[in-house]
Structure 1
Amino acid sequence: MSILFNLTFFQIASIVISLLAFGAAFWLYKWVSSQPSSNQRIAEVGKLIRNGANTFLAKEYKTLVRFCTVAAILIFIFLPVPVWKGNVLDNVIMAVSYILGTIFSGIAGKIGISIATIANIKAAEAATKGIKPSFMSGFRGGAVMGMAVVGSSLLGVTLVFLITGDTTALLGFSFGASSMALFAKAGGGIFTKTADISADLCGKVELGIPEDDPRNPAVIADNVGDNVGDVAGMGADLFDSNVASMAAALVMAAALDKTAGGFVNAAMVFCYAAIGLFASLIGVLSARMKEGGDPTRALNTNTYVTTAIFAVLTAIATYAFDFKWEIWAASAIGLAVGVIIGIASDYFTDDRRPPVHAVAKACESGPAFTILSGVSYGLISALPSMIGIGVSALAAYKICEPLGNGYAMFGISMAAVGMLSIVGMIISNDAYGPIVDNARGLVEMGSLGDEALEITDSLDSAGNTVKAVTKGFAIGAAGLTVIALLGAFMSEVNTAATEAGMISAGENYIQGFDIINPVVFFGLLFGAAIPAVFSAMLMLGVDRNAQRMVAEIHRQFKEIVGLKEGKADPEYDKCIEIATHGAIKELIPAGLMVIICTILVGIIGGVQAIGGFITGNIISGLLFALFMSNSGGLWDNTKKYIEAGNNGGKGSDAHKAGVVGDTVGDPFKDTAGPSINTQITVVSLVASLTATIFLTFSLFG
C-alpha cells in the first residue's frame, strides 16, 4: 500500500505541520520581543500588568489542578466503564488523556499571556512611529497565541489517537480541554469585567476622568483582565472547540471506517485539519498593513486570504487522495457559513453600521433607551447566525446522506472541522484586540502624545470590531461542533449497545430523539434552562466582585491624600487582589452545576433524556451566546462612537448613557456570552463519556 494512502502518513504530516506552527510562534515571539521599547513609565506599568496576569493565572491554575485531580480520579474509577467491570488499562488511558487535555490547554493559555504582556508594550511605543509598526506588533503578538493554540490542539489529538487508536480516549482528551476552557473562560471573564466595570463607573461616570487615567486604582486590574479574559480565556475556548470538532469527527470516522474497512475517513479528518493549520500559518506570516491603511480591513483581508488558501488546498488534496467530494463540500459550506456569521456579527457591532448609530441616537434620551435598543438589536442579531448554523448543518447532512448510513452526521462534523479550519487566524485576530487595548492604555499612562493615542484608538476600534466577529465565529463553530458531538454521542451509545449485546452488529440502538417521548422532553426542557442559569451565575459573580472593587476605589480616593490631584500613586495591587480572589471563588460553582446537572439527567432518564438535554442545551445556549455577545459588542462600540465626537461626544448625557450600556454589556460579551459555547461543549462531552453507564442504568430510561 502506498504511503500516500496510509493513515500514519497523515498523522505524521499533522505532527510536522504542528511543529512548523510552533516554530512560527517562536519566530514571531522573538520578532515582537526584539521591537524597541525605552519608555521607563510604560515599562513600569507593563511590568505591573504582567505580574498581575501571572499572579492570577498561577492562582487559577492551582485551583484547577485540584479540581482536575479529583476529576481524573473519578474518570479512572468510572470511565469508560466502572474499573471493577472492565479493563483497568482502558480507564488509565482515559484518565491520562483527560490530564493531557488540561495540560495542553493550560500551556496554550500561558504562552498567550507571556507574549501579550510583551506585545502591548511594543505596540504602545511603536505608535509613536506610525500605525503600521504598531499594528504589526499587536497582530504578530496575537499570532503567537494563534499558532501555539492550534499547533497544540492538532498535535495533542494526533498523538492521543496515534498512541491509543481509541476514539473514546480522544473524547477524554477533549473533555480535559473543555473543562479547563470552561473554568479559564469563566474565571478570566469574571476578573476582566469586575475591573472594567469598576474602572468605568468610578472613573468615567463619577469622576469624569479618562478611561486609562493612572489615578484610577482599577486601571491596572482592567488591563490585566484584558489578558486573562480575552487572551488566555478565549485561547482556551477556541482550543477546546478545535479539539472537540476533531474528536467528534474522528469518533464518527472511526465507526464508518470500521464498517467499510480501511481508514479513509479518519485520514480525511487529519488531512483537512493539517491543511487548515498550514493555511493559517501562511496567512499569519504573509499578513501586512500599509502605512495609513485601515486596520479592520487588514485583519479581515488576512482572514479571507486564509479561507481561500484552505478551500483550494483541500480541493487539491481531495483530488490527489481520492477523498469523497461530498465531504469536501460539507467542510467548504462550514467554512463559508463561519465567514457569513462573522459578517452578521460585524453588521450589528461595527460603529460604521446603522445599529450602532441607532443606539447612539437612543443614548441621547437616557440609559433606559440605550438598554432597550441594545437588547433589541442583540436579539435580532441572533437570527442570521442561528439560520446560518442550521443551514450549514442541513446542507452538510443532505449532501453526505447519499454516501450511506452514518455519513450524514459525519458530514456535519466535517462542516465543523471546516469552520474551525482557519482558527489559527481567528485566534490571531482575537488576541490582537486585547493587546492593542492594553497598548492604548499604556500610551495614555506613558504620555506618548495625542498622535500616538489616535493611532492606538484606531487599532483598538478595529480590535473591538474584529473581536465581535471572532466571537460570532467561535459561537457558530461551537454550534456545529456540538451538533457533531450529538452524533458522536449517538455513535458511542450504539457501539456500547452492540458490545453489551442489546442490539446486533450493524443495527442502531438510537437513530434520533422523539420529542413527544416524555423522557426526551424532560431532558429538552432541563437542557434549555441550563445556559440561562449558567449565565446568571457568572454575571452575579461579576456583580458581587465589582461592588467590592468599587468600594475599594472609593476608599482609596477618600484616604490617599493627593490621589485625585495626581500627586500620589493608587494601590493598584488591592484591586488586582480583589479581582483575583473573587474570580477564583466564583468560577467553580457555575462549572460544577453544568456537569452535575448532566449526570443527574442521565441518572433520571438515561440516554434518551440525555439526547433531549443536549439538544435543548444547544439551541438555548447558541441563542443566549449570540444575543449577549452581539449586544455587548454593540454597546461597547456605541460608547466609542459617541466618544469620537458623535451624538454629543465625551462628557455629554448621551456619553454617560453609553457608558451605562457598555457597563451592562461587559459581562454579556466578555463573561457569560463566550463562556456558553464552552458550556454546551462540556455538556455534550460529559454525555458521550457517560453514555455506557446511562445505557445500562437509569430510573426512567
Structure 2
Amino acid sequence: MSLLTPVQQGGWAQGAAPPSSPPRMDLAQRAAGIELGATEYTVVGAVMVIALAALAFGYVLIREVLAAGQGTAKMQDIAKAVQEGASAYLNRQFRTLAIFAVIVFLLLFALPGEPAERIGRSIFFLFGAAFSAAIGYLGMWLSTRANVRVAAASRESGAAREKAMRVAFRTGGVVGMTTVGLGLFGAALVVLVYAGGAPRVLEGFGFGAALLAMFMRVGGGIFTKAADVGADLVGKVEHNIPEDDPRNAATIADNVGDNVGDCAGMAADLFESYAVTLVASLILGTAAFGLHGLLFPLIVPAIGVLTAVIGVYITHARSGESALTAINRSFYISAGISAVLCAVAAMLYLPSTFAGLTGVSEEIRGTAGSPALIALVAVVIGILLAVVILKLTGYFTATENRPVRDVGQSSRTGAATVILSGLSVGFESAVYTALVIGVAVFAAFALSGSLAVSLFAIALAGCGLLTTVGVIVAMDTFGPVADNAQGIAEMSEEDEDESAKILTELDAVGNTTKAITKGIAIATAVLAATALFGSYTDAITAALADVAGSLRPTEYFVYAPDVLVGVVIGAAVVFLFAGLAINAVSRAAGAVVYEVRRQFRDSPGIMDGTTRPEYGRVVDICTRDSLRELATPGLLAVLAPIAVGFGLGVGPLAGYLAGAIATGTLMAIFLANSGGAWDNSKKLVEDGYHGGKGSEAHSATVIGDTVGDPFKDTAGPAINPLLKVMNLVSVLIAPAVVFMTVGDAVPSPVRYGIALLAVLVIVAAIVVSKRRSTAIDESSATDGEDDKVVNGAP
C-alpha cells in the first residue's frame, strides 16, 4: 500500500518504484503556463463583484442590528464594560501576533521558488492573516454591541421573542457575509493577478489565515473558559448564586470571553477553513481540470454567497415554533438552493468530456467520465455532508434528544456519573461523525480512476460544504450573542419573567448551534487537510523533478517502519496540543477561582450588594494567562512538521500528516460533542428537571459543564486550524525537504541540524509551559496588578 502517491500525470504509478526523473512536465510548470482569456477574466471579475456584494450586504445588516434599541442605562453600562474588555484583549493579542507574523513573512520569503512567487506568497500571507484578524475583530466588535440589543428586544411588547432572535441571527449574518466576502475576494484577487501561478501564491494566503485563526482560537478559548470555569465553580457551586449574578467578580470576564473566544475565534476559524479549502481546490484543480479547475472552485462559493443571503433573511421563528427548528429550516433551504445552482453551474461551465479541458496532460485528457458530472456529484456530496453533520451533532447535543437527557438523568447520582456519561456521548458521537466524514471523502475519491481527478473531487466536496458557511457562521455567532444577552439582563436585574424565558431558550438553542457549527467546521478541516495532503504529494513530485532524484519504495509504503513512526508522531502531536490547551485553561481558571474567592472573603459587602466586585482584576488575569500561553501550541504546530520532515524524510512526513488527520478528526469531535452534551444537560436541570437549580443534581451538572468547557471551546475547536497549519507547513517545506534528503546539494548535518533545532525549541517551550503549575496559590492569582486592561466595571 502506498501512502505517498503523487498525482499520476506528474509522478509515478501507485505501488511502483519512482523513476529517477518524472517523464512529464510537473504541475507547477503547467499551471504557470495557464493564461486567462477574456471569458476567464469576466468570470473572475464576476466572482469579485459577488464577494464585494457580500461585504455590502454585511454592512446593511450591521446598520439594521445597530438600529435596534439598547435597553436601560444599567444594561448599557454592563455592555460597555464587556466592549472595553474584549477590545483591550484583542488589541493586545494582535500586537503580540504582529511580531510573529513578520517573522513568518521573512521565513516564507526565504523558501525556494521563483522571486515573483516568493514575494506573492509572503505578501498574501499577510493578506490572509489580516483578513482573519479583521473578521475576528468584527465578530467581537458587533457581538459586544448586539448582546445588549438582544436583551432589550426580549423585553419589548409584541413578538419580543422573534425580535430578539432576529437581532441575534442577523448579527451572525454580518460575520458570515464578511467571512465569505473576504475569503472569496482574496482568492479571486490572487487568480486575477497570478493566473496559473495562483495556487502557489495562495499557499501563503491560506497559511496566514490558518495561523492567525489557530492563535485566536487558542488564546480566546483559554480566556473564555478560564473565566467561565472560575465563575461557575465559585459562584454556582460554592455560593449558590446564578451564573451571571453581578456579585460574581468573574461575570464580566465570562461575557468578554464569549466574544473573544466564540465570536472572534470561531469567525477566524471558519474563515481560514474557507480560505484553505479554496487553496487546496485551486492547487488540485489545475492538475485535474486545467483552466476550468482554476476557476470552478471560485464559482461554487460565489453561489454560496447568494444562498447565504437567502438563508439569513428567511430565518424567523413561527408562532409556537422552536428557534432551533427555524434556524435548521433556513439551513436546509439554503443548502438545497446551493445544490441546485451548483449543478446548473457545473453543467454550463464544465465540458462533458475530459478531452474538452485545456491546460491538462494528455493522460488526463484521455480519462473516462464527465468533468461536469464528477464536479456536480462532488459538490453535492459536500452539501449533503453538512446536512448530515447538522443532524448528527444536533442529536448528540440538543436538550430534547436522548443523549443529553441521559447525561441529565445521570446527575441524580453525582458528578462522577455525569462526567462518565458525557465522555461516553463524546466517544460514541466521534465514531459516527468520523465514519460519515470518511464516507464522504471516499465517495468523492471514488468518482474517478485518476488520482488527480479524485483528489480534486475531494476538494470540490469541501467547496460544496463552503456554500453553507455564511449560514454556519451566523448560527455560531448566534450562540454567544444570546448567552451574553442573558447575562446582561441578569446582571442588570431587569430580566422580567417572560424576558428571562425568551433569553434562556435562545441561550440553549445557541449551545446547540455552536456544537453543530463545530461539527461542520471539523468536517471542513478534514476535507481541506485531505486535499492538502494531495497538494503535498504534488509538491514532492515537482521537487523530485528539480533535483532529478527519486524515492526508495520503502520511503512511501505505509508499512515501512519510518512511515509508521511518522504516523505515531502525528497522532501524538494532536494529543499533546489538546493537553497543553486544556492545561492552560486549568491554570488560568485556578487563578480566577482564587481571585473571586479572595474578593468574597475580603469584601463581605459583595454578597449583600453594598460593595461592587473588582471585575477588572479577573479580566486582567484571563488576559495575561491566555496571551502567555499562545507561544507553545503555535510553535508545536509550525515546528513539529519541520522536525519530522528534515529529521526523518519525505515518507515519514506524509505519515505524520495522516496520523494527525485521523487522530485530530476523532479528538476534535469527541471534545466538542462531550462538552456540548455536558453544557446542555446543565441547561436541562436548570429548566427544572431532576431538582432544578440549587439541587445536588445541578451541582453535578455544573461540574460536568466546567470539565466540558475547555473541551468544546478551547482544545476541540483549535484542532481544526492545527491540522491545516501543519498541512500547509508541510506543503511549503516539501521542496526544501526533498532538496536536503534526496538531492546531494546539502550535507546531512545541515538537515539534521534544522530538525534538532526545531525539536529543541518545542521542548523548551513545553518545559517553560509546564513550569507554570496548575496548583496556583492565592498570591499568584493576584499577580500582575500593574498589567491592567480594564480599569472600571459596570
| Matching residue's letter, 2:676 | G
| Matching residue's letter, 1:441 | G
| Matching residue's letter, 1:341 | I
Could you tell me how far apart the structure 1 residues matched to 2:70 and 2:202 are? 44
Q: 1:604 to 1:645 in 2, by over 3 A?
A: same
Could you tell me how far apart the structure 1 residues matched to 2:341 and 2:555 are? 35
Deviations 1:383-403 (A, max 9, x none): 11111111111111111x14x
Residue number in structure 2 paired with 1:373: 421
Deviations 1:543-600 (A, max 9, x none): 1111111111111112224111111111111111100010000122111112111100
Residue number in structure 1 paired with 2:566: 523
Deviations 1:348-376 (A, max 9, x none): 11111111111111111111111111101
Describe the SS at the equivalent of 1:547: helix
Alpha-carbon deviation of 1:4?
Answer: 10
| Matching residue's letter, 2:430 | A
1:490 aligns with 2:533: no
Could you tell me how far apart the structure 1 residues matched to 2:461 and 2:116 are? 34
* Residue 231 (structure 1) aligned to one of 240, 259, 263: 263
Deviations 1:155-197 (A, max 9, x none): 1111122212321110111000010001000000000000000
Describe the SS at the equivalent of 1:208: coil
| Matching residue's letter, 2:145 | I
CA contact (8 A) 2:292 2:350 kept: no
CA contact (8 A) 1:226 1:434 kept: yes
Describe the SS at the equivalent of 2:248: coil
* Residue 253 (structure 2) aligned to one of 209, 221, 228: 221
Could you tell me how far apart the structure 2 residues matched to 1:88 and 1:685 are? 20
* Residue 266 (structure 1) aligned to one of 294, 303, 313: 294
* Residue 151 (structure 2) aligned to one of 124, 130, 134: 124
Residue number in structure 1 paired with 2:173: 143
1:417 aligns with 2:449: no
Please list, as runs of the form range in 1=range in 2, the aligned pairs for 1:583-662 lying within 5 A after superposition.
Answer: 583-662=626-705
Please list, as runs of the form range in 1=range in 2, the aligned pairs for 1:461-480 lying within 5 A after superposition.
Answer: 461-480=508-527
CA contact (8 A) 2:118 2:201 kept: no
1:362 aligns with 2:413: no
Deviations 1:644-664 (A, max 9, x none): 111111111111110000000
Describe the SS at the equivalent of 2:691: coil
Greater Cα shift, 196-205 or 516-525 = 516-525
Could you tell me how far apart the structure 2 residues matched to 1:661 and 1:546 are? 15
Residue number in structure 2 paired with 1:67: 100
Residue number in structure 2 paired with 1:568: 611
CA contact (8 A) 1:331 1:417 kept: yes
In the alignment of these two chains, the number of paired residues is 683
Please list, as runs of the form range in 1=range in 2, the aligned pairs for 1:157-196 lying within 5 A after superposition.
Answer: 157-165=187-195, 166=197, 167-196=199-228
CA contact (8 A) 1:215 1:564 kept: yes
Q: 1:183 to 1:197 in 2, by over 3 A?
A: same
| Matching residue's letter, 2:537 | M
Residue number in structure 2 paired with 1:430: 476
| Matching residue's letter, 1:226 | D
Greater Cα shift, 468-477 or 164-173 = 164-173
Alpha-carbon deviation of 1:319?
Answer: 2.1
Could you tell me how far apart the structure 2 residues matched to 1:424 and 1:512 are? 42
1:56 aligns with 2:89: yes
Alpha-carbon deviation of 1:237?
Answer: 0.6
Alpha-carbon deviation of 1:257?
Answer: 4.5
Residue number in structure 1 paired with 2:625: 582
Alpha-carbon deviation of 1:13?
Answer: 1.6
Please list, as runs of the form range in 1=range in 2, the aligned pairs for 1:321-336 lying within 5 A after superposition.
Answer: 321-323=349-351, 324-336=372-384
CA contact (8 A) 1:251 1:491 kept: no
Q: TM-score, normalised by structure 2?
A: 0.84
Could you tell me how far apart the structure 2 residues matched to 1:328 and 1:511 are? 37
Could you tell me how far apart the structure 1 residues matched to 2:115 and 2:528 are? 30
Residue number in structure 2 paired with 1:244: 276
Deviations 1:95-130 (A, max 9, x none): 111111101111111111111011101100000121
CA contact (8 A) 1:490 1:511 kept: no
Q: 1:9 to 1:513 in 2, by over 3 A?
A: farther
CA contact (8 A) 1:436 1:456 kept: yes
Residue number in structure 2 paired with 1:676: 719
Alpha-carbon deviation of 1:689?
Answer: 0.7
Q: 1:313 to 1:371 in 2, by over 3 A?
A: same
Describe the SS at the equivalent of 1:647: helix
Describe the SS at the equivalent of 1:406: helix
* Residue 552 (structure 1) aligned to one of 592, 595, 602: 595
RMSD: 1.8
In the alignment, structure 2 segments of 5+ residues that lack a partner are 1-35, 352-371, 742-747, 753-794
Could you tell me how far apart the structure 2 residues matched to 1:18 and 1:338 are? 22
Alpha-carbon deviation of 1:255?
Answer: 2.4
CA contact (8 A) 2:223 2:257 kept: yes
Describe the SS at the equivalent of 1:562: helix
Alpha-carbon deviation of 1:512?
Answer: 10
% identical aligned pairs: 37
Residue number in structure 1 paired with 2:185: 155
* Residue 406 (structure 1) aligned to one of 452, 458, 464: 452
Could you tell me how far apart the structure 1 residues matched to 2:407 and 2:38 are? 56
Greater Cα shift, 290-299 or 135-144 = 290-299
1:93 aligns with 2:139: no
Q: 1:267 to 1:512 in 2, by over 3 A?
A: farther
Q: 1:408 to 1:574 in 2, by over 3 A?
A: same
Q: 1:354 to 1:445 in 2, by over 3 A?
A: same
CA contact (8 A) 2:166 2:316 kept: yes
Alpha-carbon deviation of 1:408?
Answer: 0.7
Greater Cα shift, 131-140 or 444-453 = 444-453
Alpha-carbon deviation of 1:499?
Answer: 3.5
Could you tell me how far apart the structure 2 residues matched to 1:55 and 1:377 are? 37
CA contact (8 A) 1:142 1:428 kept: yes
Residue number in structure 2 paired with 1:28: 61
The runs of at least 4 consecutive aligned structure 1 residues that moved more than 3 Å come to 86-89, 499-503, 508-513, 698-701
CA contact (8 A) 1:497 1:509 kept: no
Describe the SS at the equivalent of 1:690: helix
Residue number in structure 2 paired with 1:279: 307
Residue number in structure 2 paired with 1:311: 339
CA contact (8 A) 1:370 1:661 kept: yes
Describe the SS at the equivalent of 2:207: helix
Q: 1:137 to 1:510 in 2, by over 3 A?
A: farther
Could you tell me how far apart the structure 2 residues matched to 1:330 and 1:207 are? 54
Alpha-carbon deviation of 1:8?
Answer: 1.9
Describe the SS at the equivalent of 1:214: coil
Alpha-carbon deviation of 1:513?
Answer: 4.2
Residue number in structure 2 paired with 1:298: 326
Q: 1:405 to 1:637 in 2, by over 3 A?
A: closer
Alpha-carbon deviation of 1:535?
Answer: 0.5
CA contact (8 A) 2:543 2:739 kept: no
| Matching residue's letter, 2:594 | A
Residue number in structure 2 paired with 1:396: 444
Residue number in structure 2 paired with 1:383: 431
CA contact (8 A) 2:555 2:652 kept: no
Could you tell me how far apart the structure 1 residues matched to 2:604 and 2:425 are? 45
Q: TM-score, normalised by structure 1?
A: 0.95
Could you tell me how far apart the structure 2 residues matched to 1:138 and 1:34 are? 13
Deviations 1:70-94 (A, max 9, x none): 11111112x2x1xxxx543332222
Greater Cα shift, 201-210 or 94-103 = 94-103
Residue number in structure 1 paired with 2:782: none
